[in-house]
Every structure is written in structure tokens, then in C-alpha cells.
């Protein structure tokens, strides 16, 4: 647990580096924190806390609502601390033109935020080609069934319909989150948008390790049938997923 807390900044904190999944991801570092968007623009007594004040908002966010600016800053604060844990560097990812995080040289990472909670996952590029991280609010059955036709493939819908009603919300929430994590991990490698039908969960066993299979050719060697691994856990009232793409021998040379 990171000992620094919201005592120096009522907007965000405390920060934690606890690992919530059952299995470790060697070489990766995670940092998470709660934040309060309503306190982002709250008047401060004295100067703005140094760490938050040193996060530069990209020009496109200067006129954004407080919630969007708060999400950006909270995510970057988590990323900065995760990079510090990774190898001691003092760096903060900026924003690319496509709005994805611009990670420092030699690093890969992902940022997520959901309902006043933010987290960042980072690793060295020599260990992972890419990583994805996503947090989603746990859906109830009604919400999940409404979302299913947009998120699930035909095969995944067959599996969903075979589940007891009490499991539908978890299954759809998990699949949604995993596909978001997959996109964050793969997008920097393939350089193109792709959507939920591009991959499917190979089986549904509930929370834990998972495998996804590509159903589309995405380019740069990511072809139909290629499989990737991920992990899912429940953290309070949210689903938290990650996808990790190990570096090949050539990438490590």
C-alpha cells in the first residue's frame, strides 16, 4: 500500500499497489486510487498540490467538463506512480492525437477509470508487446441482456442463454470488459479500430484466467484464430480485467 494519501490532495487518494487478481503478471505494476470529480475544481488553500499541478492537460481537454478532466488527471497520477514502481522513472504519459496514452520509451501500459475509481497498469516493452486494463460497473441481468447483442458474438449469446439468470450480468460485464482490455492491448500494435465482434471469449468459467480468440484479421500478424490470455476479478462492485501480450523472442533481442 502506498502511504501517501488524499491528506495532501482531497481530490484523489489514497493510492494502492495491491494486486487484485488471483494470478500474478510477472514484471507488471498496477496502481489504483479513488477520486472525487466534484472536488477537482474545489478552491485550494494555498497552491495546488504539486503532483496534481504537474499533470498537464492536453489542449483538447481544456474546455472539458470537470468529470472528464478529473478522470484524465486521476489516471495519469496512477500511471506516474506505477512507472515509478516499475523502474524508478519519473514520467507521466501524455495523450496521442488518437487520444490513447503516449507511454515513455521502453514501456507499455493502460489506464482505466470507472465511477470515481482509476487505475494504471504498466510493464516493460521487452517483456510485453502490450497490456490492456479495463474496469466496468457490474451489470444487472436486465442491463446485461440489453447490451448483449452489441457485445457478444453468436456463440457467446448461446452460452449466455444457457446460464442461470443470476449469472448473466457477470458474464456480459466480464466479456465487455475483456474486449475493452483486448482493444487497449492490441490497438498500438495494429494501428486500427476494431469492435466487439473481432474476438470472442473461448469459454465461460466465471471469474479467473480466460482466453480470447480473434475472429478477424487485424494486421501485423494478428490473424483469425490467434489466441490471447487475460484475467478477470471482482473488485467491490466492478469487474476488473487485464489482457497481456507477451513479447516474442525477436522483440526481446
Kindly report the pTM of this predicted structure.
Answer: 0.92
Instruction: Extract the C-alpha cell encoding 69.
Output: 478532466
Kindly tell me if the per-residue pLDDT of 3 is higher than 90. Answer: no
- Nine-digit cell string for 168: 448473466
- CATH code for the part of the protein at 12-128: 3.90.470
Task: Report yes or no: 184 and 197 within 8 Å, Cβ to Cβ.
Answer: no
Domain boundary assignment for the chain: 12-128, 134-246
In CATH terms, are 12-128 and 134-246 the same topology? yes
DSSP 3-state of 181: helix
Grid coordinates in use for 83?
Answer: 512507472
pLDDT at residue 1, rounded to an integer: 43
Q: Which residues are paired to 229 by β-bridges?
A: 211, 244
Return mean pLDDT, the chain: 91
Q: Name the residue with higher pLDDT: 40 or 157.
A: 157
Nearest CA to 58 out of 84, 76, 36 is that of 76
Average pLDDT (145-151) is: 97
Specify whether the CB–CB gap between 80 and 88 falls below 8 A: no
Closest to 239 in 3D by CA, of 111, 135, 153, 117: 135
Identify the band that residue 54 occupies on the pLDDT scale cut at 50, 70 and 90: confident
Residue closest to 147 by CA, chosen among 211, 196, 89, 82: 196
Residue 27 CA to residue 8 CA, distance in Å, equals 30
**% of the chain residues with pLDDT over 90:** 85
CATH number corresponding to 134-246: 3.90.470.20
* Most confident segment among 53-67, 209-223, 235-249: 209-223
Q: How confident is the model at residue 94 (pLDDT cuts 50, 70, 90)?
A: very high
The count of other CB atoms within 10 Å of the CB of residue 23 is 11
Tell me what pLDDT residue 9 has: 78
- The mean pLDDT value for 31-54 works out to 76
Residues in the chain: 253
Tell me what the mean pLDDT of segment 233-240 comes to. Answer: 95
What contacts 24+ positions apart, CB below 8 Å, involve 158-163? 159/203, 159/204, 163/204
Amino acid at each position: 500500500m502506498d502511504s501517501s494519501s488524499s491528506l495532501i490532495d482531497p481530490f484523489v487518494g489514497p493510492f494502492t499497489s495491491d494486486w487484485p487478481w488471483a494470478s500474478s503478471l510477472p514484471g507488471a505494476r498496477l496502481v489504483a486510487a479513488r477520486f472525487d470529480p466534484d472536488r477537482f475544481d474545489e478552491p485550494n488553500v494555498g497552491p495546488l498540490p504539486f503532483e496534481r499541478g504537474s499533470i498537464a492537460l492536453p489542449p483538447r481537454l481544456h474546455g472539458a467538463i470537470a468529470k472528464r478532466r478529473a478522470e484524465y488527471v486521476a489516471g495519469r497520477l496512477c500511471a506516474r506512480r506505477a512507472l515509478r514502481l516499475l523502474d524508478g522513472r519519473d514520467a507521466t504519459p501524455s495523450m496521442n492525437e488518437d487520444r490513447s496514452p503516449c507511454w515513455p520509451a521502453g514501456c507499455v501500459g493502460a489506464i482505466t477509470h470507472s465511477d470515481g475509481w482509476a487505475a494504471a497498469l504498466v510493464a516493460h516493452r521487452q517483456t510485453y508487446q502490450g497490456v490492456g486494463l479495463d474496469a466496468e460497473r457490474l451489470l444487472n441481468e436486465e442491463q446485461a441482456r440489453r447490451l448483449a447483442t452489441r457485445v457478444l458474438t453468436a456463440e457467446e449469446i448461446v452460452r449466455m442463454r444457457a446460464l442461470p439468470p443470476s449469472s448473466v450480468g457477470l458474464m456480459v460485464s466480464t466479456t465487455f470488459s475483456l474486449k475493452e482490455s483486448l482493444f487497449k492491448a492490441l490497438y498500438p500494435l495494429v494501428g486500427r479500430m476494431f469492435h466487439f465482434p473481432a474476438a470472442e471469449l473461448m469459454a465461460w468459467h466465471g471469474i479467473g484466467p480466460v482466453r480470447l480468440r480473434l475472429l478477424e484479421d487485424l494486421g501485423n500478424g494478428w490473424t483469425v484464430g490467434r489466441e490471447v490470455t487475460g484475467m478477470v476479478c471482482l473488485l467491490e462492485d466492478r469487474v476488473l480485467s487485464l489482457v497481456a501480450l507477451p513479447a516474442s523472442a525477436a522483440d526481446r533481442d
